[in-house]
Structure 1
Amino acid sequence: MPPDPGGTDSGARAHFRALESLYAAAPINQLFKSRLEIPESGIARIHFEIGEQYYHAGGAVHGTSYFKMLDDAAFYACNSLVSDRFLLTTAFNLLFTRPLRAGPAIAEGKWVSGQRRVFVGEARLIDEQGEEVARGTGTFMRSSIALAGLPGYRSA
């Protein structure tokens, strides 16, 4: 069972909304039509709208998009457990299982283990037919970056 980062349910919910705001404010997310949702500690979902601008020459979504979606979902699932520091990705492994085409997709992330310095998270990428197209596992480490000092980290 993941720990409650805020010590109270309302504190945790405020932290989740602030992380959602932080995600929306990140400059990289101007390139991706997406929205972060953190429903509970240790769980994150990112709703993406994938367009053909993300395709490689073979007519399917390029691997960089898979990485972005899976890393973000696993990362935010883990950072939902940490209310004071920004986590950093230290490693991430991907498994591609089928091509992803234009349309809506959801990256579902969850915290797996770790509560102090290093966290392990996993994510799966689901296409609009409900099929898993990829999965990934990452490790994330506490940084010296205070969440409260980041532009965008605020309760909605």
Structure 2
Amino acid sequence: MTRPEGEAAHYRALESLYAAAPINKLFDSTLEIESGGLARIRFTLDERHFHAAGAVHGTSYFKMLDDAAFYAANSLVTDRFLLTTAFTLLFTQPLGVGPVIAEGRWTNGRRRVFNADARLLDAGGEEVARGTGTFMRSRIPLATLPGYRTA
């Protein structure tokens, strides 16, 4: 098997970092980065994610949207971990049990601050929420984080 190089190696390392994060043990989810500035996360939601009225709680929406936007932005940064500094959400429909896709897209910024949008799609492909995030470079080198493996 050939090892990925360059950008592809960075994308695979970010996918590995996502999988290694302790919070992601609580979610049935997978990150996919196919190209710079774009990220897709596939989630499966169940009743554990519900609020008292029987639909998915807003914290799950935030998690999915923030992660997709974050990884879209961090796919363009190979040396540092980004940090979310602001995130705005718009809820348009309630979610229930089943698969959801969060799609993130970098919109602008490349030096210290990055902006990215994300949207949530239900099993039928309909948008149920969207968000916009601002992310900044941290002092944390990606290479020092457990899970970030380029080889």
Range into which the TM-score falls when normalised by the shorter chain = over 0.9
Superposed CA RMSD in Å reads 1.0
Give the superposition deviation at 1:93: 0.1
Amino acid at match of 2:54: G
CA distance in 1 between partners of 2:51 and 2:33 (Å): 30
2:10 to 12, 15, 25: 15
TM normalised by structure 2 equals 0.96
Q: CA deviation at 1:37?
A: 0.2
- Structure 2 distance, partners of 1:155, 1:96, is 36
Match of 2:82 among 82, 87, 105: 87
**Structure 1 unaligned regions, length at least 5:** 1-8
1:6-155 to 2 correspondences below 5 Å: 10-155=5-150
Q: Detail structure 1 runs of 4+ shifted over 6 Å in the superposition.
A: none
Identity %: 72
- Give the 3-state SS of the residue equivalent to 1:153 in structure 2: coil
Q: Take 2:150 and 2:15, find their aligned partners in 1: how far apart are those partners?
A: 9
Per-residue deviation, 1:151: 0.3
**Where in structure 2 are there 5+ consecutive unaligned residues?**
none
In structure 2, what is the Cα distance between the partners aligned to 1:20 and 1:12? Answer: 12
Whole-angstrom CA distance in 2 between matches of 1:10 and 1:136: 32
- TM-score of the superposition, structure 1-length normalised? 0.93
